[in-house]
């Protein structure tokens, strides 16, 4: 007399399709983890100094400012926008910080000045893109020249070098010192402030993008901005906010960079746009929008940063590193499309 429960099981619908092992192993984040491990293994074999904790700490400080901006750039590219003025914003913010330091302001004000200048630049970009409806690539190429040109006109060939010692300490000392626990292979590594800020921001951006309604709205905009607009998503407002966030993080990066270098010239951070975009694209964020993850960007930052650090340890010229970065950017964009065409052709 038992009821026939098999019919209920037959028509049970899963929330999502079961993930096969092969599909998991081919996820871009898994591939980046493998690349990260290979990077560590190869560099440790090539150079005996690679795994030194202080060398690794210095390596993270060399790419952390770029990594901070890459988080905001990832969201912009996710919604089919881009900000090529980020390096010029760094220069403009660092110049404002330099003059504020010469006027006698302390460390908190210097960071506020840098972030404030960045926000103003980002708001200007966002207004032109979101509300005047100009293409982001055209706007930010123009403001890249505008912001960098303003810095060059005001500064000329001079350098700003007078900063308070507390400000310099934040950029040149380890925020978390090296701590031994007394147990072999168990210690707290030295951590620069810039890398610690990047870790905190990466966690925040990851939660916002992947665990909140705002993140789902950003994916919807990137997938189909017209459909997102008709669905009631505030497309223009969100794009405007993303440019403001990009400007704010660029200003923060300018403050951290000025504190680390202890000086500022008009060519500071020149050419960083390519490195930042490469980090984002290598992290699996589609240039067509709608696809990407903060975890992928985080792993790509580590891979690219440690690869370039390993090359510098082996005295490879900076020009070669630039060639590598450009070639990697082209390869990351082209290879998935080549495989897709081959798959469609074979099918």
Taken in order of first residue, the domains within the chain and their CATH numbers are 27-342 (1.10.3470)
150 CB-near residues (< 8 Å, 6+ apart): 92
Query: Is 23's pLDDT higher than 70?
Result: no
Degrees (nearest 5) of the Cα angle 296, 302, 305? 130
CB 170 within 8 A of CB 110: no
Query: Is 108's pLDDT higher than 60?
Result: yes
How sure is the predictor about 322, in pLDDT bands with cuts at 50, 70 and 90?
Answer: confident
How sure is the predictor about 80, in pLDDT bands with cuts at 50, 70 and 90?
Answer: very high
Query: Is 6's pLDDT higher than 70?
Result: no
176 torsion bin: left (phi>0), alpha (psi -120 to 50), beta (else): beta
Q: Quick one: pLDDT at residue 269?
A: 94
How sure is the predictor about 332, in pLDDT bands with cuts at 50, 70 and 90?
Answer: confident
167 CB-near residues (< 8 Å, 6+ apart): 101, 106, 107, 110, 259
pLDDT in tens, 146-197: 999 999 999 988 999 999 999 999 999 998 887 777 776 777 889 999 999 9
More confident position, 62 or 11:
62
Average pLDDT, the chain: 89
């Amino acid at each position: 007399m038992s009821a026939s429960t098999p019919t209920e099981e037959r028509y049970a619908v899963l929330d999502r399709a079961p993930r096969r092992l092969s599909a998991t192993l081919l996820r871009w984040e898994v591939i980046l983890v493998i690349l990260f491990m290979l990077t560590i293994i190869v560099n440790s074999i090539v150079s005996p100094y690679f795994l030194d904790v202080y060398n690794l700490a210095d390596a993270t400080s060399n790419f952390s400012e770029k990594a901070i901006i890459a988080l905001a750039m990832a969201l912009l590219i996710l919604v089919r926008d881009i900000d090529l003025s980020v390096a010029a914003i760094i220069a403009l913010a660092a110049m404002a910080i330099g003059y504020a330091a010469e006027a006698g302001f302390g460390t908190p004000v210097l960071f506020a000045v840098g972030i404030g200048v960045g926000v103003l630049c980002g708001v200007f970009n966002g207004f032109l893109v979101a509300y005047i409806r100009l293409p982001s690539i055209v706007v930010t190429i123009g403001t890249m020249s505008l912001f960098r040109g303003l810095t060059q006109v005001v500064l000329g060939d001079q350098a700003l070098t007078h900063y308070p010692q507390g400000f310099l300490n934040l950029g040149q000392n380890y925020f978390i010192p090296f701590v031994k626990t007394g147990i072999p292979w168990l210690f707290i590594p030295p951590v620069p402030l810039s890398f610690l800020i990047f870790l905190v921001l990466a966690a925040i951006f990851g939660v916002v993008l992947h665990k909140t309604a705002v993140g789902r709205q950003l994916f919807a905009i990137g997938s189909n901005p017209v459909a997102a607009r008709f669905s009631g998503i505030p497309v223009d407002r969100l794009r405007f906010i993303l440019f403001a966030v990009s400007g704010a993080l660029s200003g923060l990066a300018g403050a951290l960079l000025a504190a680390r270098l202890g000086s500022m010239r008009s060519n500071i951070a020149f050419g960083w746009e390519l490195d930042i975009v490469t980090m984002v694209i290598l992290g699996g964020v589609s240039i067509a929008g709608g696809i990407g993850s903060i975890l992928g960007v985080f792993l790509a930052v580590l891979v690219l940063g440690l690869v370039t650090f390993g090359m510098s340890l082996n005295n490879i010229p900076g020009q070669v590193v630039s060639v590598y970065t450009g070639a990697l950017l082209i390869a990351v964009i082209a290879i998935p499309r080549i495989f897709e065409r081959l798959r469609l052709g074979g099918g």
